[in-house]
Amino acid sequence: MFERRLKLLLVCIVLLMGVVLMRAAQVQIAQADQWRERAGASMTRVQTVETYRGAILDRHGKALAVDTACVDAGVDYRAIRNPPDAAWVQQVAVSRLAAKGLNREQRRSLLAREQEQVRADIAAMWVRLAEVAQRSDESREESIDRIEQTRVAIVNRVEYLKRSLQYHAYRRARERFDDDADRVDWKSWLLEGRSGPPEIDAFAVDIAEETSVHPVVKDLHLLVANQLQKDADRMPGLMVSPGVTRRYPYHESAAHVIGSLGKAGQEEVLDGGNDPRRRYLPDDLIGRQGIERLCEPILRGSRGLIRSRIGGDSGPESVEASPGKSIRLTIDIDLQKSVEKVFERVSFPWPESTSDPITTEMYGAAVVLDAQSGQVLAMASHPGYDLNELSTLYKSLSLNAADRPLLNRATQAAMEPGSTIKPVIGLLGVANGVVGLYEGIECTGSLIIDGKPQWDGKCWTLKQFMNNPLAKGLTDHHKLPTDAPHKGSHGNRDGFLMFADSLERSCNVFFETVASRMSMSALCDGLRSFGLGSETGIGIEEVPGLLPDAFEGRPALRFSQQYLAGMGQGYLTATPLQMASAVSVIANGGAWIRPTLLLAADDPAGASVADAGAAAGDVSSASMPSPTSAPTTLPFTPERRELSIPLAAINEARRGMVNVVHARAGTGKNLLIDSNLPPGLKLAGKTGSAQTSKLSIPRLDPRTSEQLRNEAGGLAWDRPKLITREEPWFPGALTWYRGSGGLDRVAHAWFVGFAPAENPQVAFCVWVEYGGSGGQSAAKVAQGVLEACVDHGYLPAR
């Protein structure tokens, strides 16, 4: 009897079913929440809604950079993928055949051929888009290449988005159900899709971007858009749709200050944090330069999210997109435009000549500061470029090593300031007690150290007459011009030059002597206190410049660097912004104020950042990322440093600087010639003619933008020929590269100053690249700058 065996078998089967039931209970009751979570994550579709970037406004609210509607040519993601999505191609083919009114049998027989046709049309569409996008400076092949790159970039972006959402869901689940949250290798997985943490694939999400239209060619011309629209039947997936592009209504004006946007790279993508609304996706635009970079966190908007569950009973949850906030600059764009215009027509005589003035475009920079607050009213760097065309022109601009239009000469060019440093040196000398306020120093034409004249410390006046045999042994040259000889005054009986006199006549020997009497550290610390030798901290790209204590040559030469600094030569360089900032110390009575481009929130000049973006998204729930609070504080630290300089010394500096412009012996008196400045306006200024080296232009490889090498293996340089009075023009001449007359020397021209002298409202610095004499070209530019300030109400017009 084997009935027992039957029962045994039955028991086995029932046990098996028991196991199944227990496991079902485990999955559906004990772990139900966990599986539900996983299932939920895998069932979620997330769509992102892009938003606007905040505008950059000038101090009066005029838009300098603003997101504007445009027409884009977009393509369905399924046609962007290469090869195109097969199911979608079939779908297009079917609907095309259906549109032809074919019956089912005919459609079936033609389907394969029609799919081939759709594929061919997609390929042709990409060529057409490349033609549409082709720039004037690139070949057809380059354009096709570029479109191909765009295509790849979109695919990367979507893949990344998908992976990051998946990861986000995965991590939330892990945090909830697991103790160890993060894995070391997830970053490589996130970026490249390589194998990563376990179980993450269970959280794969579908995203709407996989089936939506992505812009491929931005900002189409309307005619082109119409043509594309007309041919849309032959271009599967093409959609001409409204988009957003950043526009710069003032084109070249303040281009260097406003800065530019670029595409986010790997670093930003990884460092973007966990907030899915603000995180950078590959190909997102990010501020790369200037204010766009500085104020990125404020300007950048938070994208919106729409999260829907497939087959879920609840409707989609969404977080509204919140646009970026606007930023107000201290720049007055109209003043800025006028200041930039000055450089286009500079009228000045050839160096060392008073006759035959020339009118030409010169390169350089001008900075106008509010003398009391440090606000930058204008910051011009010439030549500039049209920000609207930057992406098109970038390559040719960056290859232009001679003109360097991308360089912000106001903050990124540190040059020897020449004589414009002299007021600072004098003040430091008085403050350090190495020279009395009214102490005269004899100028014999050369700096005398330990009784020996120094060959490199000659006074500029002597240099002018050096080759004149009659002028040998000239000792009292500062009596020039002869009708305004210097006499002793202020208790100074010897007739030697005092601080103010030396400023007026720009005596090298006086300031060299003062600098040589100080210790190196006292000199450099003093220069530092005026904001030299380090970045001002204005927030946009700038260079720190050099101070003489950075010199590491022979000790004997180190000392010469010290006294050369007294006349702003040698191991001392500064940017025009630094010089404007230094001169405003004299203008405001002795405080260094960090210059700023950003209008503070409580500035009465206009409502500002804080109120613009309080309205973030309102909809939130446990599973949705909470509305983001974008930073509202300005990325700028104000600083005001009271320098310990006697007011009397500052007043003497002011007196000297007023005389530079208004006295008959003043080196800057050309400023007033042929000017439209109000006659009652008293100006203070200082000229500078800083000897410099000849222009050497790196020869760049047009493809890589790297410097080429010459036959000997060294770096290849071009040394262009100077324009001189004798040869004012020749083929390939750089019109702004001028020699100093018959002498084969070159110099940058400077002019710093403030106005009105008795109650300073603006401080300024003008730098003219290869402008020769500061008293000529720079004075002319300064004249234009000051006239612009009067025109726009920053100086009194009477």
Partner 1 sequence: MRRLWQQLAIATNWPVLAAAAVLLTLGTMSIWADTRDSSDPVWPKHLVFVVVGIGAMAAFQAVNYQILGRWAWAFYGLSLALILYTVAGSLIGGRAPLPFVRQVNGTYAWLVFGGMSLQPAELMKISFVMLLARYLRHRSSYRTLGGLIVPFVLTGVPVLMILKQPDLGTALVFGPALFAMLFVAGAHVRHLAGIVAAVVLVGFPLAWLSGPVEAGAPGLPLLRHLPAVVRNYQRERVYSLFRNDPEDRNATGFQQERALMAMGSGGATGKGLGVVPVGRRVPEAHNDMVFALVGEQFGFLGSLAVVTAYVVLFAAGFEIASATREPFGKLVAVGVVTLLAAQAGINLLVAIRLMPVTGVPLPFVSYGGSSLLASFLAIGLLLNIGQNRPFIIARSPFDFG
Pairing of strands 746-755, 762-768: antiparallel
Q: How far is the CB of 17 from partner 1 (least distance, A)?
A: 5
Q: Which is nearer to partner 1, 196 or 539 (CB)?
A: 196
Which residue type occupies 285?
L
DSSP sequence for 49-86 = E--PPPPEE-TTS-EEEEEEEEEEEEEEHHHHSSSPPH
Q: Which is nearer to partner 1, 47 or 632 (CB)?
A: 47
Q: Is 658 exposed, middle or buried (0-12, 13-18, 19+ CB in 10 A)?
A: buried
SS (HEC) of 659-676: HHHHCCCCCCHHHHCCCC
Q: How far is the CB of 88 from partner 1 (least distance, A)?
A: 15
Q: How far is the CB of 201 from partner 1 (least distance, A)?
A: 5
Q: How far is the CB of 187 from partner 1 (least distance, A)?
A: 15
Q: Within 10 A of 113 (CB to CB), how many other CB atoms are there?
A: 11
Question: At 382, phi and psi to the nearest 5?
Answer: -120, 130
**Using CA atoms in the order 321, 324, 325, 328, what is the torsion angle rounded to 10 degrees?**
-160
Give the distance from CA 726 to its chain's centroid.
40
Q: How far is the CB of 154 from partner 1 (least distance, A)?
A: 24
Instruction: Check: CB of residue 579 under 8 Å from CB of residue 604.
Output: no
**Measured distance CA(635)–CA(487) in Å, rounded:** 53
Q: How far is the CB of 179 from partner 1 (least distance, A)?
A: 16
Q: How far is the CB of 12 from partner 1 (least distance, A)?
A: 9
- List, in order, residues 6 or more apart from 271 with CB less than 8 Å away: none
Q: How far is the CB of 16 from partner 1 (least distance, A)?
A: 5
Helices (DSSP H) in 567-723: which residue ranges? 576-588, 609-612, 647-662
Q: Which is nearer to partner 1, 45 or 694 (CB)?
A: 45
**Measured distance CA(553)–CA(722) in Å, rounded:** 31
Q: Which is nearer to partner 1, 35 or 83 (CB)?
A: 35
**Measured distance CA(712)–CA(709) in Å, rounded:** 8
- Rg (the chain; Cα; Å): 35
Q: Which is nearer to partner 1, 15 or 270 (CB)?
A: 15
Q: How far is the CB of 109 from partner 1 (least distance, A)?
A: 20
Q: How far is the CB of 224 from partner 1 (least distance, A)?
A: 39
Q: Which is nearer to partner 1, 6 or 797 (CB)?
A: 6
Instruction: Check: CB of residue 300 under 8 Å from CB of residue 278.
Output: yes
Q: Which is nearer to partner 1, 5 or 554 (CB)?
A: 5
Instruction: Check: CB of residue 72 under 8 Å from CB of residue 219.
Output: yes
Question: At 144, phi and psi to the nearest 5?
Answer: -65, -40
Give the distance from CA 89 to its chain's centroid.
45
Instruction: Check: CB of residue 514 under 8 Å from CB of residue 522.
Output: no
Which of 37, 504, 64 is CA-nearest to residue 259? 64
Q: Which is nearer to partner 1, 20 or 708 (CB)?
A: 20
Q: Which is nearer to partner 1, 32 or 648 (CB)?
A: 32
Chain positions contacting partner 1, by CB under 8 A: 1-3, 5-7, 9-10, 13-14, 16-17, 19-21, 23-25, 27-29, 31-32, 34-36, 38-40, 42-43, 195-202, 309-312
Q: Which is nearer to partner 1, 31 or 632 (CB)?
A: 31
Q: How far is the CB of 203 from partner 1 (least distance, A)?
A: 10
Q: Which is nearer to partner 1, 194 or 554 (CB)?
A: 194
Q: Which is nearer to partner 1, 1 or 184 (CB)?
A: 1
Q: How far is the CB of 388 from partner 1 (least distance, A)?
A: 46
DSSP sequence for 757-770 = SSS--EEEEEEETT
